[in-house]
Amino acid sequence: MTNVIGFNPKLLGDDWQEAESAFFQVYLRLNSKTDFLTAAAVWDLISVRTERTDRAVLTVILTPAAKKFVLHWGEMGQAWGINRTMAQVHALLFVTPDALDAEEISQLLDVSRSNVSTSLRELITWGVVRRVHIIGDRRDRFEALKDVMETFRVIMAERKRREMDPTIALLEHCVVEAKSGGPAEQYTREQLEKMLEFVRMVTLWYGHIDQLSTPALERLFRNGSRLVKLFGWGKALAEREGENKDEAETTAK
């Protein structure tokens, strides 16, 4: 992409030091009585005609299906409390076969570079995106985890760390505080204990799931209907046993 650069040398990105050196060469070649501001004006006339041709040329073209996925992933991310641009960046890197740099991501999503940079840092913190380098290319490139199950594991682990663990700690503190409140806090304490037990149970369940290998985890998901039937039979059996017990007690009376 061709870009016209003004006087500010820092607009040249990584090459601003070269631009600064070129400016002082212009300054020295002028009459010794020429002041600094005049040299700046001359340099400005020169620099506005300078074109950068080493910008990355956008070669990635998103298909209609990919665009729909990126847009939907962004909306879904908002529903989950995640920044929309961050979710779109992740979706873009997931459906793109090659690693992209920040400039390419910015152009494809039509968002600012600063927004892209912030999203990439957060995605790297989550562990679903990583930075990669190509020999001969100074730019940082980024790619997402391509394995769906591995992505699921990473997201679940991060959500547990960010959400479930702090919730358990807070509930434990609230239960202790409610116990010290006496009878007036009894109902509140009982409700908090129920919630704490549930969150601990979910966290324990996640711990068991996380220990499974990826093939075993896939089998678990694929055979979910069998588990439903299994627990459904168990529930029906328990209800039947309960009915038999009631009948026996009634007969005994």
Q: How large is the average pLDDT for residues 79-84? A: 90
Give the chain's mean pLDDT: 79
- pLDDT of 154-203, one tens digit each? 999 999 999 999 999 999 999 999 998 888 899 999 999 999 999 999 99
Share of the chain above pLDDT 70, in %: 68
- pLDDT of 15-52, one tens digit each? 445 555 554 554 455 554 455 555 455 444 444 433 34
Q: Which long-range contacts (CB under 8 A, 24 or more apart) does 100-108 make?
A: 100/60, 100/141, 100/142, 100/143, 101/56, 101/139, 101/140, 101/141, 101/142, 102/139, 102/140, 102/142, 103/55, 103/56, 103/139, 104/56, 104/58, 104/60, 105/142, 107/1, 107/58, 108/58, 108/60, 108/62
More confident residue, 32 or 90: 90
- The β-bridge partners of 131 are 142
State pTM to two decimals.
0.65
Closest to 7 (Cα-Cα) out of 53, 41, 52: 41
**Residues 209 and 198 sit within 8 Å (Cβ to Cβ):** no
Which CATH architecture group holds 64-145? Orthogonal Bundle (1.10)
Q: Which amino acid is at 240?
A: R
Cα-based angle 53, 58, 63 (whole degrees, multiple of 5)? 165
pLDDT of residue 228: 75
pLDDT of residue 1: 39
More confident residue, 119 or 8: 119
188 burial via Cβ count (<10 Å: 0-12, 13-18, 19+): middle
More confident residue, 61 or 43: 61
In the chain, domain spans? 3-52, 64-145, 150-222
pLDDT range class, residue 12, cuts 50, 70, 90:
very low
